[in-house]
Amino acid sequence: IKCLPLIDFFTISGMTNRKDMIDEALIRPGRLEVQMEIGLPDEHGRMQILNIHTETMRTNDKMSSDVDINELASVTKNFSGAEIEGLVRAAQSTAMNRLIKATSKVEVDTEAIEKLKITRADFLHALQHDIKAAFGSSKEELDGFLSQGIISWGEPVTRVLTDSDLVISQIRNSNQTSLITMLLEGPPGAGKTTLAAKIAKGSDLPFMKLCSPENMIGYTESAKCQVIKKIFDDAYKSPLSCIIMDDIERLLDYVSVGPRFSNLVLQAMLVLLKKNPPQGHKLLIIGTTSRKDVLNDFEMLPLFKTVAHVSSISNSEQLITVLDSSEVFTEKELKEVRKKTDGKWLFIGIKTLLALIDMAKQMESGLRAEKWFTPNMLLLP
């Protein structure tokens, strides 16, 4: 590089996926001094890339008429150029596999070339089973929290979902706010993580990532910080992103005896929660906690601009709504439960209640209200 002044019309271009690992001496002025970040392609860019990689198919009449490039560009959010190329190859492989005869011997149809057509179904199969965006979403993880759906058992749930709709509208439409933070707080078992997953999936943002203590069991403090930082760095590469920081006190290794916590992780989270994404990018952070008081002591609570309380089931009407939606209890049993709980205050999380309902399925019909209800509920006069 130092010899460049002696050579006319000579340009050196370098490419890397890990700029953070390059020696700073190599990118200082006089060397590789001009740096340009090539971000993920937008929908128009993805359409152009798809047209390039499917041009040979169209020229040779090997692409079915039901393939819509505009549709593929729309559903491949946050795909890089290499991932789009891989998608096209995977669709071709799927189409070719249809022409292989599944017998005791592997036989290929002699007229395979003439019959070969890559269809819309081949692309969708490749999307679902073969190619996933590195900067895509954790939909499988989120679906796991939503396996039983959302039961709107009362005003507390409706209020949280209404607040979340405003937050999603803001992250999509506001030109002034690039970082939006929302905290769901409430007692254990109230369904905070499920609501966070519902909000994230409902937003339909291109990048959705779950930052959970379950994925960091056995990690050192430094390793946790690196994982959390990488999640945020990946989110910054997408124009619209959502991060769920689940069970924040567990991420901090908080223990009330002492008290003890990881100061290294705390400081990292405090910095990341108030760091704005790059220009032209937006980030929604949804946190969940059962210890709002602890987050307040850690000076983290003010960093969440929207705080929504997720309450437990507290009265008979809310309880009956959940029991009725489960379709486990008979009308007679529901009336008996209503009679026992009418006028009393309850305190039971939806997560705990659903587990008890599943237990009630194993009991004999007619005895559920008597045997299941009394020992498992906390009644306050």
Active site residues: 192-193, 246-247, 274, 351
- Rounded to whole angstroms, the Cα distance separating 309 from 287 reads 12
d(C-alpha 87, C-alpha 95), whole Å: 12
Q: Of all helices (H) and strands (E), which one includes residue 173? A: helix 155-173
Decide if 228 contacts 211 (C-beta within 8 A): yes
DSSP codes joined into one string, 301-350: GGG-SEEEE-PPB-SHHHHHHHHHHHT-S-HHHHHHHHHHHTT-EE-B-H
Q: What whole-number distance in Å separates Cα of residue 210 and Cα of residue 212?
A: 6
Which residues, other chains included, contact 201 with Cβ-Cβ below 8 Å and sequence gap of 6+?
Answer: 139, 142, 143, 146, 208
Task: Say if residues 232 and 272 touch (Cβ distance below 8 Å).
Answer: yes
Q: Which 8-state DSSP code applies to residue 174?
A: -
What are the distances in angstroms from CA 281 to CA 62, 136, 234, 264? 38, 15, 12, 27
Nearest-Å Rg of the Cα atoms of the chain is 27
Cβ-based neighbours of 155, under 8 Å, separated by 6 or more:
none
Token pair 């959940």 is at which residue?
322
SS3 for 197? Answer: helix
What are the structure tokens assigned to 358, written together? 């599943």
* Angle made by CA atoms 193, 307, 196, in degrees to the nearest 5: 20
Extract the tokens encoding 1.
Answer: 């590089």
DSSP-derived secondary structure for 28-76? STTSS----------HHHHHHHHHHHTHHHHHTT-B-TT--HHHHHHH-
